[in-house]
Amino acid sequence: MKLLLIEDEPSVISVIQRSLTASGHEITVAMDGQSGQQMALQHTFDIIILDLMVPVINGMEVCRRLRSKQLTTPILMLTALGTTENIVSGLDAGADDYMTKPFKLAELEARIRTLTRRGREQEKEKDEETLSISDLVLDKVTKTVKRGNIAIELTATEFRLLEYLLSNPGRVLNRMEILENVWDINFNLGTNVVDVYINYLRKKIEKNHPVKLIHTVFGMGYVIRQSYEDPN
């Protein structure tokens, strides 16, 4: 992993750098808050290890500024001040974890592993919040749909229908499956409500787009997949 260490004590830098490098990590060091902030914003790191008492800009302010810039990189704050007030202040500033000096290197590496695992789980959760195919993206949390970064206005039923299709990419869904999962009731099999709403969706998400996404499989149902062919 690529780690940014913002620390001004040479002895602490040497110990941490030697230990984490031996574990296979790539360490970049900044010896003051201002240069550390610049590095964090200009480069990509997996974790930032930030000492509270660094010069120029203190660690608490660096943390606040990075979070105000929407930087989501996990931050592990280090300090010799282990009071509850300081710990709470650090976490409120946006730190993900807090370690009090002196600490054991084994504990530091354990905290790094925990932050890494937590970050991966959060990314996974974030991915699960959206469904996409080609340049079409549906956000299940904000209830929005975009194609090529252009917002598409859908009704509640159209949104549920698209969500169901996107949850089953490449799978042919018959009308009964769609009725039961989108409308949540058993419609008369003779109804054409599915066909009507499929056409509504096509007009909204495929208009002026060469890549067609919703396809009819005659005698079977509908499928969503990327294709330059005619959707019918």
Cα(232)–Cα(219) distance, rounded to whole angstroms?
A: 12
CATH of domain 2-127: 3.40.50.2300
Q: Cβ atoms within 10 A of the Cβ of 132, count?
A: 14
How close are the terminal C-alpha atoms of the chain, in Å?
48
pLDDT digits (tens, 9 = 90+) for 173-223: 998 888 888 875 555 555 688 999 999 999 999 988 888 999 999 989 999
Amino acid letter, residue 161: L
Q: Full-prediction pTM beyond 0.85?
A: no
Copy the structure tokens of residue 167.
């949850």
Q: Where in the chain are the domains?
A: 2-127, 130-227
For the domain made up of 130-227, give the CATH fold.
Arc Repressor Mutant, subunit A (1.10.10)
Integer CA distances (angstroms), 121 to 58, 98, 103, 126, 189, in order: 30, 20, 26, 9, 42
Render pLDDT for 30-87 as a digit per residue (tens, 0 to 9): 999 999 999 999 999 999 999 999 999 999 999 999 999 888 899 999 988 766 777 7
How many residues does the structure list for the chain?
A: 232
User: CA 190 to CA 48: how far, in whole Å?
Assistant: 60
Instruction: With a cut of 50, say whether residue 230 has pLDDT above it.
Output: no
